[in-house]
């Protein structure tokens, strides 16, 4: 039976681990401070009898690899290619969360956004138009409260539909200055010829132009290890998604 992989990403202290526990029934350590999750924790649950593997990534404000935790989260999303990256945003401080959201939308098409801490947002009198946000960002946006187990069924339902390809996303992609766009397009074309469709060529092109030498090293590393044991990587891709891929 197919097993889908879901990665949980988001800012520190937005309730990723609480959601992880609520979904898997595990008791991963949760705490009200930033930087609690530094390594990857994974757990399983079944929804409608389909096994889902949930991977809890470290919370970060960004994925430009300023630090080890950002690197861990970024490498997982780009190189391990989960079937869906579930972005957990803090409904009470969206302004802060959307920075990371735009970065993730640049990295992969398979993004589902959940607005966590909706109970807190309500207490503060905040009203969030999830539908409009979904329209603007081009991916599903589901309001939840992981702590009170609200919205989890809708969330699991949408996750499954995205894994199986029933829901197709059209993520909003940042547009850069004309001159930069021209360079991105040129580099993107070359990169996708070299790397094939398995890597997010546009995102890599942008990072290359930014001079991200650590990423180039990580990519080289990844390609070298694929050469030796490419079987594992190939099978995850086959299991992954039916269509779409990373054409930006």
Partner 1 sequence: MKDQSDMTTLYLAQSGQKFLIQKVKIKGDLKRRLLDLGFVPGSVVEVLKASPLGDPVSYRVAGTVIALRKEESQLLFGEVIQR
60-68, 148-156, 160-168, 216-224 -> range binding partner 1 (CB under 8 A): 60-68
- Residue 128's CB is within 10 A of a number of other CB atoms, namely 17
38-46, 56-64, 216-224, 230-238 -> range binding partner 1 (CB under 8 A): 56-64
Closest approach of partner 1 to the CB of residue 93, in Å: 3
35-43, 44-52, 94-102, 145-153 -> range binding partner 1 (CB under 8 A): 94-102
Cα separations (Å) of 195 from 83, 223, 246?
19, 9, 12
What is the chain's length?
248
* Radius of gyration of the chain measured on its C-alpha atoms: 18
Positions in 98-137 near partner 1 (CB under 8 A): 99
With CB under 8 A as the contact rule, the residue among 45, 47, 64, 79 that binds partner 1 is 64
Position of tokens 């949980």? Answer: 8
| Spatial separation of the C-alpha atoms in residues 33 and 36, rounded to whole Å | 6
Nearer to partner 1, 62 or 164 (CB): 62
Nearer to partner 1, 70 or 75 (CB): 70
| Spatial separation of the C-alpha atoms in residues 201 and 242, rounded to whole Å | 19
> Could you say whether residue 62 binds partner 1 (CB under 8 A)?
yes
Closest approach of partner 1 to the CB of residue 211, in Å: 11
Tell me the number of residues near partner 1 by CB under 8 A. 9
74 near 196, Cβ under 8 Å?
no
């Amino acid at each position: 039976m197919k097993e889908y992989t879901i990665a949980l990403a988001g800012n520190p202290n937005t309730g990723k681990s609480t959601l992880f526990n609520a979904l898997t029934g595990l008791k991963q350590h949760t705490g009200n401070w930033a930087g609690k999750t530094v390594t990857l924790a994974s757990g399983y649950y079944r929804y409608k009898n389909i096994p889902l593997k949930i991977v809890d990534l470290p919370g970060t404000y960004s994925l430009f690899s300023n630090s080890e935790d950002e690197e861990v989260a970024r490498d997982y999303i780009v190189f391990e290619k989960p079937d869906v990256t579930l972005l957990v945003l803090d409904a009470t401080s969206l302004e802060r969360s959307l920075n990371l959201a735009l970065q993730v939308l640049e990295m992969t098409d398979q993004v589902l956004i959940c607005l966590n801490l909706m109970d807190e947002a309500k207490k503060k009198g905040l009203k969030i138009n999830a539908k409009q946000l979904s329209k603007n960002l081009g991916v599903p946006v589901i309001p939840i409260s992981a702590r009170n187990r609200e919205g989890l069924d809708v969330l699991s339902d949408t996750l499954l539909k995205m894994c199986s390809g029933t829901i197709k996303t059209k993520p909003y992609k940042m547009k850069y200055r004309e001159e930069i766009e021209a360079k991105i397009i040129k580099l993107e074309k070359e990169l996708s010829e070299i790397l094939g469709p398995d890597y997010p060529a546009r995102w890599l092109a942008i990072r290359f132009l930014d001079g991200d030498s650590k990423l180039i090293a990580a990519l080289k590393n990844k390609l070298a290890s694929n050469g030796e044991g490419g079987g594992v990587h190939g099978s995850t891709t086959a299991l992954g998604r039916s269509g779409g891929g990373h054409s930006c």
